[in-house]
Protein backbone atom coordinates (compact mmCIF):
# COMPACT_ATOMS: atom_id res chain seq x y z
CA UNK A 1 0.00 0.00 0.00
CA UNK A 2 2.81 2.41 0.82
CA UNK A 3 4.35 1.71 -2.57
CA UNK A 4 1.05 2.52 -4.29
CA UNK A 5 0.53 5.72 -2.32
CA UNK A 6 4.02 6.99 -2.99
CA UNK A 7 3.61 6.48 -6.73
CA UNK A 8 0.17 8.06 -6.66
CA UNK A 9 1.64 11.07 -4.91
CA UNK A 10 4.25 11.38 -7.60
CA UNK A 11 1.58 11.36 -10.28
CA UNK A 12 -0.43 14.02 -8.52
CA UNK A 13 2.68 16.13 -8.18
CA UNK A 14 3.39 15.74 -11.88
CA UNK A 15 -0.13 16.35 -13.13
CA UNK A 16 -1.97 18.11 -10.30
CA UNK A 17 -0.13 21.28 -9.40
CA UNK A 18 -1.16 24.79 -10.39
CA UNK A 19 2.11 25.09 -12.26
CA UNK A 20 1.28 21.90 -14.09
CA UNK A 21 -2.10 23.32 -15.07
CA UNK A 22 -0.48 26.40 -16.51
CA UNK A 23 2.01 24.24 -18.36
CA UNK A 24 -0.86 22.37 -20.02
CA UNK A 25 -2.00 25.70 -21.38
CA UNK A 26 -5.76 25.27 -20.99
CA UNK A 27 -6.00 28.92 -20.05
CA UNK A 28 -9.45 30.36 -19.30
CA UNK A 29 -11.51 28.35 -21.78
CA UNK A 30 -15.01 28.97 -20.48
CA UNK A 31 -17.48 27.54 -23.01
CA UNK A 32 -19.95 25.13 -21.48
CA UNK A 33 -21.43 22.40 -23.68
CA UNK A 34 -23.89 21.46 -20.94
CA UNK A 35 -24.89 17.83 -20.89
CA UNK A 36 -23.50 15.36 -23.40
CA UNK A 37 -26.11 14.57 -26.04
CA UNK A 38 -24.80 13.39 -29.42
CA UNK A 39 -21.30 12.05 -29.83
CA UNK A 40 -18.99 9.88 -31.87
CA UNK A 41 -16.02 7.75 -30.85
CA UNK A 42 -12.68 8.42 -32.53
CA UNK A 43 -10.57 5.28 -32.60
CA UNK A 44 -7.65 4.58 -33.26
CA UNK A 45 -6.35 8.06 -32.36
CA UNK A 46 -4.82 6.63 -29.17
CA UNK A 47 -4.93 2.98 -30.19
CA UNK A 48 -3.07 0.47 -32.37
CA UNK A 49 0.12 0.13 -30.37
CA UNK A 50 3.57 -1.28 -31.05
CA UNK A 51 4.39 -3.83 -28.36
CA UNK A 52 7.65 -5.70 -27.92
CA UNK A 53 7.33 -9.51 -28.01
CA UNK A 54 6.67 -11.43 -24.80
CA UNK A 55 7.91 -11.70 -22.13
CA UNK A 56 8.57 -7.96 -22.41
CA UNK A 57 5.86 -5.66 -21.06
CA UNK A 58 7.22 -2.63 -22.91
CA UNK A 59 6.16 -0.66 -25.95
CA UNK A 60 8.24 0.83 -28.72
CA UNK A 61 8.54 4.61 -28.79
CA UNK A 62 6.38 6.23 -29.93
CA UNK A 63 3.93 3.50 -28.88
CA UNK A 64 1.16 4.16 -31.41
CA UNK A 65 1.44 3.02 -35.01
CA UNK A 66 2.36 6.08 -37.10
CA UNK A 67 0.13 5.13 -40.05
CA UNK A 68 -3.08 4.82 -38.00
CA UNK A 69 -5.99 7.02 -39.02
CA UNK A 70 -6.11 10.19 -36.93
CA UNK A 71 -8.55 13.11 -37.00
CA UNK A 72 -7.55 16.57 -38.11
CA UNK A 73 -8.83 19.87 -36.78
CA UNK A 74 -10.98 20.08 -39.92
CA UNK A 75 -12.53 16.70 -39.13
CA UNK A 76 -13.58 17.91 -35.70
CA UNK A 77 -14.99 21.16 -37.08
CA UNK A 78 -16.98 19.07 -39.59
CA UNK A 79 -18.41 16.97 -36.77
CA UNK A 80 -19.52 20.07 -34.87
CA UNK A 81 -21.07 21.52 -38.02
CA UNK A 82 -23.05 18.28 -38.30
CA UNK A 83 -24.43 18.92 -34.80
CA UNK A 84 -22.39 16.47 -32.78
CA UNK A 85 -21.59 18.05 -29.42
CA UNK A 86 -18.93 15.68 -28.05
CA UNK A 87 -16.31 13.19 -29.08
CA UNK A 88 -15.35 10.06 -27.21
CA UNK A 89 -11.62 9.31 -27.27
CA UNK A 90 -10.75 5.64 -26.67
CA UNK A 91 -7.36 5.34 -24.99
CA UNK A 92 -5.25 2.20 -24.90
CA UNK A 93 -4.21 2.45 -21.25
CA UNK A 94 -1.19 0.16 -21.73
CA UNK A 95 1.35 2.73 -22.97
CA UNK A 96 0.20 5.33 -20.42
CA UNK A 97 0.96 2.81 -17.67
CA UNK A 98 3.98 0.94 -19.01
CA UNK A 99 5.96 3.99 -20.07
CA UNK A 100 7.53 6.25 -17.45
CA UNK A 101 9.20 9.60 -17.02
CA UNK A 102 9.42 11.87 -20.02
CA UNK A 103 7.74 9.38 -22.33
CA UNK A 104 4.65 9.19 -20.12
CA UNK A 105 4.60 12.98 -19.86
CA UNK A 106 4.73 13.19 -23.64
CA UNK A 107 1.72 10.86 -23.96
CA UNK A 108 -0.31 13.04 -21.62
CA UNK A 109 0.81 16.09 -23.59
CA UNK A 110 -0.48 14.45 -26.77
CA UNK A 111 -3.79 13.76 -25.05
CA UNK A 112 -3.90 17.39 -23.93
CA UNK A 113 -3.46 18.49 -27.52
CA UNK A 114 -6.29 16.21 -28.63
CA UNK A 115 -8.57 17.79 -26.04
CA UNK A 116 -7.58 21.27 -27.17
CA UNK A 117 -8.49 20.40 -30.76
CA UNK A 118 -11.91 19.29 -29.56
CA UNK A 119 -12.45 22.39 -27.45
CA UNK A 120 -11.41 24.61 -30.35
CA UNK A 121 -14.13 22.94 -32.44
CA UNK A 122 -16.67 23.54 -29.63
CA UNK A 123 -16.85 19.83 -28.78
CA UNK A 124 -16.89 18.32 -25.31
CA UNK A 125 -14.81 15.20 -24.62
CA UNK A 126 -15.27 11.80 -23.04
CA UNK A 127 -11.99 10.09 -22.17
CA UNK A 128 -12.51 6.36 -22.61
CA UNK A 129 -9.74 4.11 -21.20
CA UNK A 130 -10.11 1.08 -23.44
CA UNK A 131 -7.74 -1.78 -22.64
CA UNK A 132 -6.56 -3.66 -25.69
CA UNK A 133 -7.71 -7.26 -25.45
CA UNK A 134 -5.04 -8.27 -27.96
CA UNK A 135 -2.27 -6.90 -25.73
CA UNK A 136 0.13 -9.52 -24.42
CA UNK A 137 0.17 -8.13 -20.89
CA UNK A 138 -1.61 -4.79 -20.45
CA UNK A 139 -5.15 -6.00 -21.12
CA UNK A 140 -8.52 -5.68 -19.40
CA UNK A 141 -8.27 -8.85 -17.32
CA UNK A 142 -4.82 -7.83 -16.12
CA UNK A 143 -6.05 -4.37 -15.09
CA UNK A 144 -8.91 -5.79 -13.02
CA UNK A 145 -6.65 -8.30 -11.26
CA UNK A 146 -5.79 -7.06 -7.77
CA UNK A 147 -3.61 -10.05 -6.94
CA UNK A 148 0.15 -10.32 -6.74
CA UNK A 149 0.58 -10.59 -10.50
CA UNK A 150 -2.20 -8.19 -11.42
CA UNK A 151 -2.02 -4.54 -12.46
CA UNK A 152 -5.06 -3.00 -10.79
CA UNK A 153 -2.84 -0.72 -8.72
CA UNK A 154 -1.19 0.60 -11.90
CA UNK A 155 -4.58 1.14 -13.48
CA UNK A 156 -5.78 3.08 -10.41
CA UNK A 157 -2.82 5.43 -10.75
CA UNK A 158 -3.66 5.97 -14.40
CA UNK A 159 -7.29 6.84 -13.60
CA UNK A 160 -6.15 9.29 -10.90
CA UNK A 161 -3.90 11.06 -13.43
CA UNK A 162 -6.60 11.06 -16.11
CA UNK A 163 -9.23 12.54 -13.80
CA UNK A 164 -6.73 15.14 -12.61
CA UNK A 165 -6.13 16.14 -16.22
CA UNK A 166 -9.87 16.43 -16.83
CA UNK A 167 -10.25 18.60 -13.73
CA UNK A 168 -7.60 21.04 -14.89
CA UNK A 169 -8.79 21.13 -18.48
CA UNK A 170 -12.48 21.99 -18.16
CA UNK A 171 -14.60 19.94 -15.74
CA UNK A 172 -17.84 20.89 -17.46
CA UNK A 173 -16.52 19.76 -20.84
CA UNK A 174 -14.74 16.51 -19.97
CA UNK A 175 -16.07 13.22 -18.62
CA UNK A 176 -13.96 10.19 -17.73
CA UNK A 177 -15.06 6.60 -18.11
CA UNK A 178 -13.57 4.45 -15.38
CA UNK A 179 -13.35 1.28 -17.50
CA UNK A 180 -14.48 0.00 -20.88
CA UNK A 181 -16.43 -3.25 -21.25
CA UNK A 182 -15.31 -5.14 -18.11
CA UNK A 183 -14.60 -8.81 -19.03
CA UNK A 184 -16.57 -10.19 -16.07
CA UNK A 185 -19.93 -11.76 -15.39
CA UNK A 186 -22.85 -9.36 -15.27
CA UNK A 187 -23.18 -9.31 -11.48
CA UNK A 188 -19.50 -9.88 -10.72
CA UNK A 189 -18.68 -8.90 -7.11
CA UNK A 190 -15.08 -8.50 -8.24
CA UNK A 191 -16.04 -5.87 -10.80
CA UNK A 192 -18.35 -4.05 -8.38
CA UNK A 193 -15.50 -3.79 -5.85
CA UNK A 194 -12.96 -2.61 -8.44
CA UNK A 195 -15.28 0.07 -9.80
CA UNK A 196 -16.09 1.30 -6.29
CA UNK A 197 -12.36 1.69 -5.62
CA UNK A 198 -11.81 3.57 -8.88
CA UNK A 199 -14.77 5.84 -8.08
CA UNK A 200 -13.39 6.61 -4.61
CA UNK A 201 -9.92 7.38 -5.97
CA UNK A 202 -11.33 9.58 -8.74
CA UNK A 203 -13.55 11.52 -6.35
CA UNK A 204 -10.57 12.11 -4.11
CA UNK A 205 -8.98 14.04 -6.97
CA UNK A 206 -12.00 15.82 -8.44
CA UNK A 207 -15.42 16.07 -6.78
CA UNK A 208 -17.02 17.73 -9.80
CA UNK A 209 -15.61 15.96 -12.88
CA UNK A 210 -18.21 13.83 -14.65
CA UNK A 211 -17.42 10.14 -14.13
CA UNK A 212 -18.97 7.35 -16.15
CA UNK A 213 -19.67 3.96 -14.55
CA UNK A 214 -20.64 0.72 -16.21
CA UNK A 215 -21.91 -2.76 -15.46
CA UNK A 216 -20.10 -6.03 -16.01
CA UNK A 217 -20.32 -8.54 -18.89
CA UNK A 218 -18.77 -6.22 -21.42
CA UNK A 219 -20.86 -3.18 -20.54
CA UNK A 220 -23.96 -4.69 -22.13
CA UNK A 221 -27.57 -4.05 -21.13
CA UNK A 222 -27.60 -7.04 -18.76
CA UNK A 223 -24.50 -5.70 -17.02
CA UNK A 224 -26.09 -2.35 -16.26
CA UNK A 225 -29.27 -4.09 -15.11
CA UNK A 226 -27.18 -5.99 -12.54
CA UNK A 227 -25.45 -2.85 -11.26
CA UNK A 228 -26.56 -1.46 -7.91
CA UNK A 229 -25.46 2.07 -8.74
CA UNK A 230 -23.20 3.85 -6.29
CA UNK A 231 -23.72 7.61 -6.14
CA UNK A 232 -27.13 7.28 -7.78
CA UNK A 233 -28.04 10.84 -6.77
CA UNK A 234 -24.72 12.45 -7.78
CA UNK A 235 -25.40 14.66 -10.84
CA UNK A 236 -21.76 14.27 -11.86
CA UNK A 237 -22.00 10.47 -12.23
CA UNK A 238 -23.26 8.97 -15.49
CA UNK A 239 -24.01 5.32 -16.27
CA UNK A 240 -22.99 3.71 -19.53
CA UNK A 241 -24.13 0.75 -21.61
CA UNK A 242 -23.22 -0.48 -25.10
CA UNK A 243 -25.70 -1.81 -27.63
CA UNK A 244 -24.89 -3.97 -30.66
CA UNK A 245 -27.81 -6.39 -30.58
CA UNK A 246 -28.31 -8.44 -32.64
CA UNK A 247 -24.64 -9.11 -33.34
CA UNK A 248 -25.52 -11.18 -36.42
CA UNK A 249 -26.49 -7.89 -38.01
CA UNK A 250 -24.18 -5.34 -36.38
CA UNK A 251 -21.00 -7.44 -36.58
CA UNK A 252 -21.37 -9.10 -39.96
CA UNK A 253 -17.97 -9.27 -41.65
CA UNK A 254 -16.14 -8.65 -38.36
CA UNK A 255 -12.74 -10.29 -38.78
CA UNK A 256 -11.78 -9.32 -35.22
CA UNK A 257 -14.35 -11.74 -33.75
CA UNK A 258 -11.71 -14.46 -33.76
CA UNK A 259 -13.42 -16.69 -31.20
CA UNK A 260 -16.54 -16.78 -33.38
CA UNK A 261 -15.18 -16.96 -36.94
CA UNK A 262 -18.61 -17.25 -38.55
CA UNK A 263 -18.98 -13.46 -38.40
CA UNK A 264 -16.30 -12.85 -40.99
CA UNK A 265 -18.34 -14.69 -43.62
CA UNK A 266 -21.62 -12.83 -43.12
CA UNK A 267 -22.64 -10.18 -45.64
CA UNK A 268 -25.86 -8.37 -46.47
CA UNK A 269 -27.76 -9.68 -43.46
CA UNK A 270 -30.98 -7.65 -43.72
CA UNK A 271 -32.49 -5.16 -41.29
CA UNK A 272 -35.17 -5.67 -40.28
CA UNK A 273 -34.92 -9.42 -40.73
CA UNK A 274 -38.33 -9.55 -42.41
CA UNK A 275 -37.01 -7.44 -45.30
CA UNK A 276 -34.61 -10.19 -46.48
CA UNK A 277 -34.47 -13.83 -47.47
CA UNK A 278 -33.08 -16.40 -45.05
CA UNK A 279 -32.11 -18.97 -47.67
CA UNK A 280 -30.26 -16.48 -49.88
CA UNK A 281 -28.40 -15.00 -46.91
CA UNK A 282 -27.44 -18.44 -45.61
CA UNK A 283 -26.38 -19.83 -48.99
CA UNK A 284 -24.16 -16.83 -49.70
CA UNK A 285 -22.44 -17.16 -46.33
CA UNK A 286 -21.93 -20.92 -46.74
CA UNK A 287 -20.44 -20.30 -50.20
CA UNK A 288 -17.92 -17.85 -48.72
CA UNK A 289 -16.93 -20.37 -46.08
CA UNK A 290 -16.55 -23.08 -48.71
CA UNK A 291 -14.30 -20.91 -50.84
CA UNK A 292 -11.88 -20.15 -48.00
CA UNK A 293 -8.91 -22.40 -48.80
CA UNK A 294 -7.33 -21.68 -45.42
CA UNK A 295 -9.94 -23.75 -43.60
CA UNK A 296 -9.50 -27.43 -42.84
CA UNK A 297 -12.56 -29.63 -43.52
CA UNK A 298 -13.51 -30.10 -39.86
CA UNK A 299 -13.07 -26.39 -39.17
CA UNK A 300 -15.15 -25.52 -42.23
CA UNK A 301 -17.96 -27.84 -41.17
CA UNK A 302 -18.04 -26.30 -37.68
CA UNK A 303 -18.26 -22.76 -39.03
CA UNK A 304 -20.99 -23.74 -41.48
CA UNK A 305 -23.03 -25.31 -38.68
CA UNK A 306 -22.59 -22.25 -36.44
CA UNK A 307 -23.54 -19.92 -39.29
CA UNK A 308 -26.66 -21.86 -40.23
CA UNK A 309 -27.77 -21.99 -36.60
CA UNK A 310 -27.18 -18.26 -36.00
CA UNK A 311 -29.03 -17.22 -39.15
CA UNK A 312 -31.93 -19.57 -38.40
CA UNK A 313 -32.28 -17.96 -34.97
CA UNK A 314 -31.97 -14.49 -36.44
CA UNK A 315 -34.73 -14.90 -38.99
CA UNK A 316 -36.97 -16.85 -36.61
CA UNK A 317 -36.69 -14.04 -34.06
CA UNK A 318 -37.57 -11.50 -36.77
CA UNK A 319 -35.74 -8.59 -35.08
CA UNK A 320 -36.77 -5.06 -35.93
CA UNK A 321 -37.52 -1.80 -34.09
CA UNK A 322 -39.63 -3.53 -31.41
CA UNK A 323 -36.74 -5.86 -30.64
CA UNK A 324 -34.48 -2.87 -29.97
CA UNK A 325 -37.09 -1.09 -27.87
CA UNK A 326 -37.42 -4.18 -25.66
CA UNK A 327 -33.76 -3.85 -24.61
CA UNK A 328 -34.10 -0.14 -23.93
CA UNK A 329 -37.18 -0.81 -21.80
CA UNK A 330 -34.92 -2.82 -19.49
CA UNK A 331 -32.63 0.18 -19.06
CA UNK A 332 -35.63 2.40 -18.37
CA UNK A 333 -36.75 -0.02 -15.68
CA UNK A 334 -33.27 -0.02 -14.13
CA UNK A 335 -32.98 3.77 -14.02
CA UNK A 336 -36.49 4.21 -12.60
CA UNK A 337 -35.78 1.60 -9.92
CA UNK A 338 -32.65 3.45 -8.81
CA UNK A 339 -33.83 7.01 -9.34
CA UNK A 340 -31.30 7.83 -12.07
CA UNK A 341 -32.32 10.60 -14.46
CA UNK A 342 -32.49 9.67 -18.13
CA UNK A 343 -29.90 12.27 -19.11
CA UNK A 344 -27.37 10.46 -16.89
CA UNK A 345 -27.73 7.17 -18.80
CA UNK A 346 -25.36 7.11 -21.75
CA UNK A 347 -25.63 4.81 -24.73
CA UNK A 348 -21.85 4.78 -24.94
CA UNK A 349 -21.48 2.72 -28.11
CA UNK A 350 -23.66 1.52 -30.94
CA UNK A 351 -23.02 0.92 -34.60
CA UNK A 352 -22.85 -1.61 -37.42
CA UNK A 353 -20.30 -2.63 -40.01
CA UNK A 354 -20.28 -1.55 -43.63
CA UNK A 355 -20.78 -5.18 -44.71
CA UNK A 356 -24.53 -4.72 -44.51
CA UNK A 357 -26.42 -3.12 -47.37
CA UNK A 358 -26.27 0.65 -46.93
CA UNK A 359 -30.05 1.16 -46.57
CA UNK A 360 -30.25 -1.64 -43.98
CA UNK A 361 -27.37 -0.19 -42.00
CA UNK A 362 -29.00 3.24 -42.00
CA UNK A 363 -32.34 1.77 -40.86
CA UNK A 364 -30.67 -0.10 -38.00
CA UNK A 365 -28.75 2.97 -36.80
CA UNK A 366 -31.90 5.08 -37.00
CA UNK A 367 -33.85 2.53 -34.96
CA UNK A 368 -31.20 2.38 -32.22
CA UNK A 369 -30.75 6.14 -32.13
CA UNK A 370 -34.48 6.74 -31.92
CA UNK A 371 -34.84 4.22 -29.08
CA UNK A 372 -32.18 6.14 -27.17
CA UNK A 373 -33.66 9.57 -27.82
CA UNK A 374 -37.23 8.48 -27.10
CA UNK A 375 -36.04 7.53 -23.62
CA UNK A 376 -33.93 10.67 -23.11
CA UNK A 377 -30.56 8.91 -23.31
CA UNK A 378 -27.52 10.69 -24.80
CA UNK A 379 -25.54 8.56 -27.24
CA UNK A 380 -22.13 8.05 -28.85
CA UNK A 381 -21.87 6.41 -32.25
CA UNK A 382 -19.06 3.95 -32.96
CA UNK A 383 -17.00 5.06 -34.92
CA UNK A 384 -15.77 7.98 -37.03
CA UNK A 385 -13.34 5.79 -38.98
CA UNK A 386 -12.81 2.18 -40.07
CA UNK A 387 -15.24 -0.56 -41.08
CA UNK A 388 -17.89 0.77 -38.68
CA UNK A 389 -17.17 4.36 -39.60
CA UNK A 390 -19.25 7.43 -40.24
CA UNK A 391 -17.06 8.48 -43.16
CA UNK A 392 -17.76 7.50 -46.74
CA UNK A 393 -14.10 6.52 -46.79
CA UNK A 394 -11.27 7.30 -44.42
CA UNK A 395 -9.12 8.87 -47.13
CA UNK A 396 -11.62 11.50 -48.26
CA UNK A 397 -13.01 12.05 -44.72
CA UNK A 398 -16.45 13.10 -46.00
CA UNK A 399 -19.26 12.13 -43.63
CA UNK A 400 -21.88 9.78 -45.06
CA UNK A 401 -25.06 11.85 -45.53
CA UNK A 402 -27.31 8.78 -45.24
CA UNK A 403 -25.80 7.90 -41.88
CA UNK A 404 -26.07 11.48 -40.66
CA UNK A 405 -29.74 11.41 -41.58
CA UNK A 406 -30.14 8.09 -39.76
CA UNK A 407 -28.59 9.72 -36.70
CA UNK A 408 -31.05 12.61 -36.97
CA UNK A 409 -28.35 15.19 -37.53
CA UNK A 410 -26.43 16.85 -40.32
CA UNK A 411 -25.20 20.21 -41.59
CA UNK A 412 -28.55 20.99 -43.15
CA UNK A 413 -30.25 21.10 -39.74
Rounded to whole angstroms, the Cα distance separating 21 from 18 reads 5
**Could you tell me if 236 and 354 lie in one domain?**
yes
**Could you tell me if 163 and 307 lie in one domain?**
no
Q: Is residue 368 part of a domain?
A: yes
Place 147 in a pLDDT band, splitting at 50, 70 and 90: confident
Q: Is residue 20 part of a domain?
A: no
Q: Is residue 376 part of a domain?
A: yes
Q: Which domain holds residue 229?
A: 32-245+321-406
C-alpha closest to that of 231 among 281, 196, 180? 196
**Could you tell me if 142 and 208 lie in one domain?**
yes
**Alpha-carbon torsion angle 42, 45, 47, 50, nearest 10:** 160
Q: Is residue 47 part of a domain?
A: yes
Q: How does pLDDT run across 40-67, given as a tens digit for each residue?
A: 999 999 999 999 998 899 999 999 999 9
**Could you tell me if 185 and 234 lie in one domain?**
yes
Give residue 357's pLDDT.
96
**Could you tell me if 332 and 295 lie in one domain?**
no
Q: Is residue 2 part of a domain?
A: no
**Could you tell me if 93 and 208 lie in one domain?**
yes
**Could you tell me if 363 and 221 lie in one domain?**
yes
Give residue 203's pLDDT.
95
**Could you tell me if 121 and 179 lie in one domain?**
yes
**Could you tell me if 48 and 63 lie in one domain?**
yes
In the chain, the N- to C-terminal Cα span, in Å, equals 54
Name the β-bridge partners of 347: 241, 379
Give residue 12's pLDDT.
35
**Could you tell me if 364 and 295 lie in one domain?**
no
Q: Tell me how many domains the chain contains.
A: 2
Rounded to whole angstroms, the Cα distance separating 4 from 207 reads 21
pTM for this structure?
A: 0.90
Q: How does pLDDT run across 346-385, given as a tens digit for each residue?
A: 999 999 999 999 999 999 999 999 999 999 999 999 999 9
Stronger pLDDT, 410 or 26, i.e. the higher one: 410
Q: How does pLDDT run across 165-222, given as a tens digit for each residue?
A: 999 988 889 999 999 999 999 999 999 999 999 999 999 999 999 999 999 999 999 9
Q: Is residue 139 part of a domain?
A: yes
Q: Is residue 231 part of a domain?
A: yes
Q: Is residue 14 part of a domain?
A: no
Rounded to whole angstroms, the Cα distance separating 394 from 43 reads 12
CB atoms < 10 A from the CB of 389, how many? Answer: 23
Amino acid sequence: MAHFLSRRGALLAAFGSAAGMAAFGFGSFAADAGSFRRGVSIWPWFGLTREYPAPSRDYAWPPFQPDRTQPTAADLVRLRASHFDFIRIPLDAGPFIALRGQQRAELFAQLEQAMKLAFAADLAVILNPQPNEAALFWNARQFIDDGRDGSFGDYREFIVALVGLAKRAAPRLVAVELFNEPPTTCASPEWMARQATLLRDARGVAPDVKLILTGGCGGMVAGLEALDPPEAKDPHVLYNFHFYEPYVFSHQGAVWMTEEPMYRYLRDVPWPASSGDERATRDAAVARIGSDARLKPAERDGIVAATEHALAQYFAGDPGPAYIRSFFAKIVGWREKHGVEARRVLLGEFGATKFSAAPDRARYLRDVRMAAEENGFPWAFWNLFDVMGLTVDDHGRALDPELLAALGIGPER
